[in-house]
């Protein structure tokens, strides 16, 4: 049996793209799939062998000791293909290539642009760091057997360099988030946000906006820092927020079922403007309208499929107006939700993207 090892030092065990989509898809094809990831213990889950890494104490330990642990676990497996998911594992990927292994780099984010908005990197060295990381990625990518990208924008970047690139978009699994018995979770006077919680993902604008309505915000996810959480809790709109913390996939589904709309009002930073945020398509998959940032690409998806409203993400009043409109027009909102669900069933679904992944691995093992 052919063995595939997925490697991550950053993501959690049940990361949707890595575990629920890619690993499960490959395991169903009959491959032996191993996932090296931070976890409490080695175990087998849904046919996937988990090789556990201890949780690092901080980012520095993760980028030193944890990376070394990833490498040790990787070579112990003696696999046919190594598929890694984090830019900090590029040295591991290169080392495996030097040892004659087949290596795939899965690029989830446009990292050089992402760095420009990293709060923990001092502003005066962000542009230098961004340029350096881009040069490292560009150079290293020439040695890998395949580059898998999550968006067409990232695909074009590597394709221009003449790399072997395949774009496997992070679209939702059609049946995962649409509850068959919606009566179990009746609609509330609420909108939701699911994902990482940071200032540039619009948390402060969302809280200010919800405070201008008579609705509540179902807030699912973890704050990036304690200081931002404290700042959010000090806002007057926080009284309209129900903080849910990190949710598993079933709990996410239930939360979306309770909401009348989903928010994805990310700020217009370079890394977001050309992104395809998973949460936007998950809202559509769950059959609820989307209130999204008015980026050109997102407007094409949301307004083009008549499944939501696009607003200026830096304008809390515009966000509040969109929320209130959804609340006051339930019939139109229902049609928007149905349009989004139809678009996912026809275009924006993992089932179509999974075939690209299957074809890639068939070619590698042929």
Q: What is the pLDDT of residues 149-186, one digit of tens each?
A: 999 999 999 999 999 999 999 999 988 766 544 455 68
Q: What is the pLDDT of residue 179?
A: 52
Whether the predicted pLDDT of 7 surpasses 60: yes
Q: Of 19-28, 41-50, 269-278, which gets the smallest average pLDDT? A: 269-278
H/E segment holding residue 28: helix 24-28
Per-residue confidence at 71, pLDDT binned at 50, 70, 90?
Answer: very high
Q: What is the pLDDT of residue 184?
A: 59
What's the whole-number average pLDDT of the chain?
94
Q: What is the pLDDT of residues 87-96, one digit of tens each?
A: 999 999 999 9
184 DSSP 8-state letter: G
Task: State pTM to two decimals.
Answer: 0.89
- Strand 81-84 versus strand 102-107 pairing type: parallel
Average pLDDT of the segment spanning 307-335: 97
What's the rounded Cα separation, in Å, for the pair 4 and 77?
Answer: 9
Average pLDDT of the segment spanning 245-259: 92
Whether the predicted pLDDT of 55 surpasses 70: yes
Per-residue confidence at 366, pLDDT binned at 50, 70, 90?
Answer: confident
Average pLDDT of the segment spanning 102-115: 94
- Strand 48-53 versus strand 43-45 pairing type: antiparallel
Q: What is the pLDDT of residues 122-135, one digit of tens each?
A: 888 999 999 999 99
H/E segment holding residue 4: strand 3-7
55 DSSP 8-state letter: P
Whether the predicted pLDDT of 8 surpasses 90: yes
- Asked if residue 255 lies in contact with residue 271, where contact means CB atoms within 8 angstroms, the answer is no
- Count other Cβ atoms within 10 Å, centred on residue 55: 12
Domains and CATH numbers, the chain: 3-171+349-365 (3.40.50.2000), 182-346 (3.40.50.2000)
Average pLDDT of the segment spanning 297-321: 98
Burial of residue 250, with CB atoms counted within 10 A of its CB: 0-12 exposed, 13-18 middle, 19 or more buried: exposed
Q: Among residues of the chain, what percentage have pLDDT more than 90? A: 89
- Strand 308-311 versus strand 3-7 pairing type: unpaired
Q: What is the pLDDT of residue 311?
A: 98
What's the rounded Cα separation, in Å, for the pair 158 and 181?
Answer: 44
């Amino acid at each position: 049996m052919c063995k595939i090892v997925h490697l991550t030092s950053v993501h959690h065990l049940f990361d949707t793209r890595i575990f629920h989509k890619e690993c499960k898809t490959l395991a169903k094809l009959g491959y032996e799939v191993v996932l090296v990831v931070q976890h409490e213990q080695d175990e087998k889950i849904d046919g996937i062998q988990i090789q556990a890494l201890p949780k690092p104490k901080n980012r520095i330990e993760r980028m030193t000791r944890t990376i070394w642990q990833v490498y040790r676990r990787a070579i112990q497996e003696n696999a046919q293909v190594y598929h890694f998911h984090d830019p900090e594992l590029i040295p591991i990927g290169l080392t495996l290539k030097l040892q004659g292994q087949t290596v795939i780099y899965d690029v989830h984010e446009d990292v050089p642009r992402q760095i420009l908005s990293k709060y923990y990197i001092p502003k005066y060295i962000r542009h230098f760091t961004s340029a350096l990381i881009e040069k490292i990625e560009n150079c290293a990518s020439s040695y890998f057997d395949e580059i898998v990208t999550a968006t067409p924008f990232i695909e074009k970047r590597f394709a221009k360099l003449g790399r072997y690139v395949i774009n496997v978009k992070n679209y939702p699994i059609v049946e995962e988030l649409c509850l068959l018995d919606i009566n179990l979770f009746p609609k509330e006077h609420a909108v939701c946000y699911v994902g990482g919680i940071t200032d540039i993902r619009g948390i402060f604008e969302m809280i200010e906006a919800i405070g201008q309505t008579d609705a509540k915000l179902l807030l699912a996810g973890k704050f990036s820092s304690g200081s931002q959480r404290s700042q959010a809790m000090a806002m007057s709109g926080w009284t309209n927020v129900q903080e849910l913390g990190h949710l598993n996939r079933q709990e996410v589904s239930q939360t979306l079922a309770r909401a009348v709309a989903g928010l994805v009002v990310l700020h217009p930073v370079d890394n977001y403007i050309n992104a395809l945020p998973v949460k936007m398509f998950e809202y559509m998959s769950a059959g609820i309208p989307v209130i999204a940032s008015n980026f050109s690409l997102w407007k094409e998806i949301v307004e083009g499929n008549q499944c939501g409203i696009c607003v200026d993400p830096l304008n809390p009043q515009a966000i509040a107006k969109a929320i209130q409109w959804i609340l006051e027009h339930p019939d139109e909102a229902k049609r928007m939700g149905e349009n989004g669900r139809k678009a996912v069933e026809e275009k924006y679904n993992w089932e179509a993207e999974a075939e690209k992944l299957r074809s890639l691995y068939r070619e590698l093992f042929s």
